[in-house]
Amino acid sequence: MTKTILLDRLNKHALTKRVLLTMKLTWMIVMIMCMQVSATSFAQQKISITAKQVSIKALLKTIENQTEYRFVYSNNALANDKKISVNIHEVSLDEAMRTLLKETGLTYTLKESNLVVIYANKKSGKDVVVSGKVTDEDGLALPGVSVKVSGLSVASTTDGSGAFSIRVPDNSASLEFTSIGYIKQTIPITGSFMNIVLKADNRDLQEVVVTGYTTYKKSQSASASTLVTAEKINDVAGLTFDQILQGRVPGMSVISSSGQPGQSASTVIRGIGSVNGSSTPLYILDGTPIEGGYFQTINPEDVENVTVLKDASAKALYGSRGSNGVIIITSKKGKAGKVQVQYSSQYGFSNLTEGKTTMMNTAQRLQFEEGVGVDFKRTIGPGWTYSPKNPTYINGTAAFRQRADQILDSLRNINIDWRDQIYQNSKFQEQQASVSGGNENIRYYNSLNYYKQDGIAKRTGLERYSLKSNVDFKDNKFSGNVNITIGYSNSSFTEGEGGTGAGTAMSAAYYALPYENPYAPDGTLIHQGNKANYFILDQREGSQALERLQNSSNKTNQLKSVIGTSLAYQILPELKITTRAGIDYRNTTDQAFINPDSYYGSRSVANTLGGKGRFDEGTRRNFNIISTTGLTYAKTFNEKHDFEASAFYEYVYNNYNEFNYTGFGIDGRLPETPAGIINSAAFLPIVGGAKTTSALASFMGVARYTYNEKYTFTGSYRYDGSTKVAPQNKWHGFYSFGANWNAKKEDFLKDLSLIADLNFRSSYGTTASPLSGNYNYLATYAVNTSYNGIAGSRPVSPGNPDYDWEYVNEFNVGFDLSLFRSSRLRLAADYYDKKTSNMFFDQPLSALSGFSSLALSTGKMQNRGIEFDISGDIIKTSDFTWTLGVNAGYNKNKILHLTDAADQLLDGDTRVFKVGLPYGSYYAPNWAGVDPQTGDAQYYNPDGSITTTYNATTQSVAESGSLYPKFTGGFNTSLSYRGISATALFSFVSGVKRWNNEDFYNENQRYATSNQSLRMLEDRWMKPGDVKTLQRFDVPRNFTSRDIEDASFLRLRNLNIGYSIPKNVLDKIGLIKTMKLFVQGQNLFTWTKWRGMDPENNSVYGRFQYPNARTYTAGLSANF
């Protein structure tokens, strides 16, 4: 390898030689860049020489023999190679070179890969030494920053404390400071000591696309992906990390499934691609796949960035698991330098985001009851029973009338807003401490987090402890890392969320009558069990819910750990072997308890067998292990041909175990423990559980070729073998192709300063969606039935012998454009067309078959859409910055084929699958309003005529829209002025319809003994000529298009105002390096037409789901 390049700098005629040399140098440098890992430990090489009257050339040879330094110089420079004497021992290169070149008028510069270039120093003898210190914006020292004299090759780096020292010719104008992750700074030399502050550069991250198997420069990647960086994820209060991504990624819809603290959202990338399979993206945390839907214990504060992979060229690397998109989460890593201690803390509170439905208050309710009594002689409450208009009153005795008046008077004095009984203003706090640091070879990041969030529904909350430890190490050709995430969470849930049944907390907030005072004057809760002792005129629906709420508990604790380790070894400069193993382990314990000493627990019903409470406990253990081993070959040929290829073998194994039991006959002195259970025939306990395993083995290859930094072609192939599909379909291949054109490198754009960057990308490939069950293809029998206490068996599933993957073919084309100097305006846009074939449809079967459906793999569905992301720095001065960003995705979903037998199938009782329509289309008779003359409810027949006869079978049409949003996105803005910053995020979901099933109960004569919406009093037909929303009271209420409401919304998702305390103030205090104070709010405003509790919910119906909270917090973050 020893190589000395002779350089004839001064020979002007040797032009060809110069060109040749330049080319060779460039080639070497590019080569070196590909060998990042091996170029590590040169700084440590020490030089010892003792020589008398030896030529400099010979001395350089000696150094080359001792170390890995290689010298490049012109023969002319050392033409009069004079002999010198040296005696140095264990010195650095710099010292050795100064000694050697002391009287030569030459200087040197150290390039990457130990290359030392020696050249004439024209201004020899007039060098000055400039020293200084480089820090980041928080004032923390930055080691390893490259310091270079502008226009020259003189360079140095900062040490562990950020200090540097460089010899510069005295006429040099400025120094350049560069470091990965920071914006390059060019500073004029002002004196012999300089303090430099480098600003973090997130655009640097934007330049790289990480897929988990490859890391390509954005200009060389065919992939459509979006990066969300730490400052958008950290510090957001009260949301899991997936919820935080709402409104951040174009084409990714994130919709909450419940306001329960810690509950994961429903995340869908580029439209739902499966009806009966899974549509959950694949989540990868530091290289280890983690389960979707279990993010309670994942601490968003530890997240450095999230990359969302959306197109086939990236997803196909994940083969049969990739079609729903891949979300790559990278946690924080330590930075070389002094130990950094960071502490942040925030406190706050949450309250209810009100829905649009107003329920009646006491006065309104009594008026309503009386009105119904007068018009329909129906008694729905004391408002009519004791009404002066009631014949019983008119014909009653004076004593009765006096008593009736008293009763109504006392009822009028009660006016309970039941929301106050069910909901609460809840507290929030979070504490985070982290310690990070390291040197060039080992870097570490450790954090501890405590998080406590009470829910806005009483009895709910989440408490979390989490720990994170990342260690990255490298030594010459060897590198690796270990990532450990451990979290423990405790969640508590409310009673009967998301149901319309009476007696549950969420529905009681609506159903309970306003004159239902839950408590007697002595504070006793009056419920169904003891109400006989009191004079009660209401339904006690609210008190029943309270009684249940107060005498039961429902808790889950979860221990989750994600442990991953990866190792890489650079065998040859162009060949690297990597191996990675990861474990995702979750143990969940669910516990439910009903107090035996309560009314709720004392009834001898199936739920509380024997009438002495109930205790349930169950554990669910999920264990997932992944191992990936592979080779990466990367080499650039002839400068222009940049080639990289990898081959991997991967094995994923999943093991799931579940065990649960239910005990009855609880001793009230031993609550919430199995010790309180009585085991006897009268209190027969129930035992259950499940076990299953699955595995996936894959062989894969991926390659990229870039020509002249302009044209990139990528391709991948993955061969997956799975236990989840029918044996004959076990193995299947998935492929992708992609191309990127880096147009900025073309001659016609190279010098155009308006366009800073321009890339066009396109890709096509196949993937599949992960299967939800493990052995869905099998016809099965189970023994979970019995008659007369004797066990029986029954067929469970008819099976699907052709069961195969649901294949997704996806095409993507897009571009990235940056405009103006320093890329002030950035735009990325993509178009995609995604087709799912082989899609599972449950072909409904005739009841005669004994099964409700037969799984078939015959469906086809298409998702097409466009998405864009624009961000720009509108104002950017040294003091004031204003940025604005908008991102949105429009998706059009269409069912292309159902089964060979049908092009329309019912989907539950309110939706339909129909070829040509989007998945999730509601199916209901069209509402034709209320007949102003009769007050009858009117419906449209399919022929357009209007009728008062309701017939769901013949009248239903799919014209009400679909449950899955068409248009989602967000816009964000941030302002910063000196130390003050403000950021806001709005998110929106549009083109989405949901079935509001709450109105069906709140505006229905059938349930009029419970409280009703104010519209039942004010907007109901009463007399001919009334033009009202609601029909005559006695007309049955039926499910129609009126119940399908627009659930689009725009939400001020997050508003954060922060203030960084000036450094001079902190310096006076000492100890604290930086400190930032902030206040923020989540879900502050919502604009929607939806009448139910919260438009943001992924359920097909609105049925008193737990609404999302509005949260306010204040906090501080400090570095020590």
Per-residue interface string for the shown chain with another protein, residues 231-250, x marking contact by CB under 8 A: --------------------
**Smallest distance, Å, CB 141 to another protein?**
41
Q: Map residue 1081 onto helix, strand or coil.
A: strand
Q: Tokens 């409700």, residue? A: 852
CB closer to another protein, 520 vs 690: 690
Q: Single out the residue of 171, 151, 429 nearest to residue 1111, CA to CA.
A: 429
Residues with Cβ within 8 Å of residue 203, at least 6 apart in sequence: 823
- Compute the distance between CA of residue 92 and CA of residue 48 in angstroms, rounded to an integer: 9
Q: Classify each residue of 631-668 as buried b or exposed e, where b means 16 or more C-beta atoms within 10 Å of its C-beta.
A: ebebbbeeeeebebbbebebebebebebebebbbbbee
Per-residue interface string for the shown chain with another protein, residues 370-389, x marking contact by CB under 8 A: ---------x----------
- Compute the distance between CA of residue 298 and CA of residue 1084 in angstroms, rounded to an integer: 25
Quote the crossing angle between the two packed helices 362-376 and 398-412, to the nearest 10°.
140
Interface positions, 901-930, toward another protein (CB under 8 A): 905-906, 909
**Smallest distance, Å, CB 948 to another protein?**
13
**Smallest distance, Å, CB 847 to another protein?**
4
**Smallest distance, Å, CB 526 to another protein?**
13
Stretch that binds another protein, among 362-370, 428-436, 783-791, 1013-1021 (CB under 8 A): 783-791
**Smallest distance, Å, CB 784 to another protein?**
10
How many residues bind another protein, per CB under 8 A? 83
Among 17, 83, 126, 691, binds another protein (CB under 8 A): 691
The yes or no reply on residue 723 touching another protein (CB under 8 A) is: yes
**Smallest distance, Å, CB 203 to another protein?**
37
Among 5, 30, 49, 631, binds another protein (CB under 8 A): 631
CB closer to another protein, 109 vs 570: 570
The yes or no reply on residue 721 touching another protein (CB under 8 A) is: yes
Backbone φ, ψ for residue 1078 (5° rounding): -150, 155
CB closer to another protein, 845 vs 874: 845
Among 58, 520, 684, 875, binds another protein (CB under 8 A): 684
Q: What is 529-543 written as a DSSP string?
A: TTGGGS---S--HHH
Q: Single out the residue of 221, 227, 250 nearest to residue 312, CA to CA.
A: 221
**Smallest distance, Å, CB 372 to another protein?**
13
Q: Map residue 4 onto helix, strand or coil.
A: coil
Indicate left, alpha or beta for 978 from its phi (over 0: left) and psi (-120 to 50: alpha): left
**Smallest distance, Å, CB 367 to another protein?**
20
Q: How many other CB atoms are found less than 10 A from the CB of residue 54?
A: 16
Please check whether residue 875 is in contact with residue 851, taking contact to mean a CB–CB distance below 8 angstroms.
Answer: no
The yes or no reply on residue 623 touching another protein (CB under 8 A) is: no
List the end-to-end C-alpha distance of the chain, in Å, as a whole number.
Answer: 47
Interface positions, 725-754, toward another protein (CB under 8 A): 730
Stretch that binds another protein, among 401-409, 585-593, 625-633, 1092-1100 (CB under 8 A): 625-633
Q: How many other CB atoms are found less than 10 A from the CB of residue 605?
A: 8
Stretch that binds another protein, among 162-170, 290-298, 780-788, 802-810 (CB under 8 A): 780-788
Stretch that binds another protein, among 159-167, 242-250, 252-260, 683-691 (CB under 8 A): 683-691
Interface positions, 986-1015, toward another protein (CB under 8 A): 1006-1007, 1009-1010
Please check whether residue 47 is in contact with residue 93, taking contact to mean a CB–CB distance below 8 angstroms.
Answer: yes
Bridge partner residues of 11 (DSSP): none
Stretch that binds another protein, among 40-48, 586-594, 795-803, 814-822 (CB under 8 A): 795-803
CB closer to another protein, 651 vs 661: 651
User: What secondary structure letter does DSSP report for 1037?
Assistant: P
The yes or no reply on residue 400 touching another protein (CB under 8 A) is: no
CB closer to another protein, 681 vs 754: 681
Interface positions, 837-856, toward another protein (CB under 8 A): 844-852, 854
**Smallest distance, Å, CB 685 to another protein?**
11
Per-residue interface string for the shown chain with another protein, residues 332-371, x marking contact by CB under 8 A: ----------------------------------------
Indicate left, alpha or beta for 37 from its phi (over 0: left) and psi (-120 to 50: alpha): alpha
Interface positions, 550-609, toward another protein (CB under 8 A): 571-572, 575, 577, 603-606, 609
For 805, half-sphere exposure in the C-beta direction (CA atoms, 13 angstrom radius) is 25
Interface positions, 929-968, toward another protein (CB under 8 A): 951-953
Strands 252-256 and 326-331: unpaired
**Smallest distance, Å, CB 368 to another protein?**
15
Please check whether residue 865 is in contact with residue 811, taking contact to mean a CB–CB distance below 8 angstroms.
Answer: no
Among 528, 809, 990, 1029, binds another protein (CB under 8 A): 528
Per-residue interface string for the shown chain with another protein, residues 498-527, x marking contact by CB under 8 A: ----xx------------------------
CB closer to another protein, 225 vs 385: 385
Q: Which helix (H) or strand (E) holds 893?
A: strand 880-897
CB closer to another protein, 399 vs 754: 399
For 193, half-sphere exposure in the C-beta direction (CA atoms, 13 angstrom radius) is 2
Among 728, 786, 822, 948, binds another protein (CB under 8 A): 786
Stretch that binds another protein, among 200-208, 328-336, 776-784, 890-898 (CB under 8 A): 776-784
Backbone φ, ψ for residue 938 (5° rounding): -120, 145
As a dihedral over the C-alpha atoms of residue 142, residue 329, residue 236, residue 1097, rounded to 10 degrees, the angle is 170
The yes or no reply on residue 480 touching another protein (CB under 8 A) is: no
Among 793, 822, 933, 948, binds another protein (CB under 8 A): 793
**Smallest distance, Å, CB 1 to another protein?**
9
**AA letter at 9:** R
Which stretches of 212-267 are DSSP H helices? 230-233, 241-244
Among 58, 779, 874, 1065, binds another protein (CB under 8 A): 779
CB closer to another protein, 388 vs 908: 908
For 78, half-sphere exposure in the C-beta direction (CA atoms, 13 angstrom radius) is 25
Please check whether residue 454 is in contact with residue 460, taking contact to mean a CB–CB distance below 8 angstroms.
Answer: yes
Interface positions, 184-223, toward another protein (CB under 8 A): none
User: What secondary structure letter does DSSP report for 15?
Assistant: H
**Smallest distance, Å, CB 962 to another protein?**
20
Q: How many other CB atoms are found less than 10 A from the CB of residue 203?
A: 15
The yes or no reply on residue 682 touching another protein (CB under 8 A) is: yes
Backbone φ, ψ for residue 1072 (5° rounding): -85, 130
Interface positions, 796-815, toward another protein (CB under 8 A): 796, 798-799
CB closer to another protein, 347 vs 1007: 1007
Interface positions, 636-665, toward another protein (CB under 8 A): 647, 649, 651, 653
- Compute the distance between CA of residue 1112 and CA of residue 428 in angstroms, rounded to an integer: 9
Classify residue 706 as exposed, middle or buried by CB count within 10 Å of its CB (0-12, 13-18, 19+). buried
Stretch that binds another protein, among 51-59, 269-277, 782-790, 1063-1071 (CB under 8 A): 782-790
The 3 state secondary structure assigned to 827-875 is EEEEEEEEEEEEEEEEEECCHHHCCCEEEEEEEEEEEEEEEEEEEEEEE
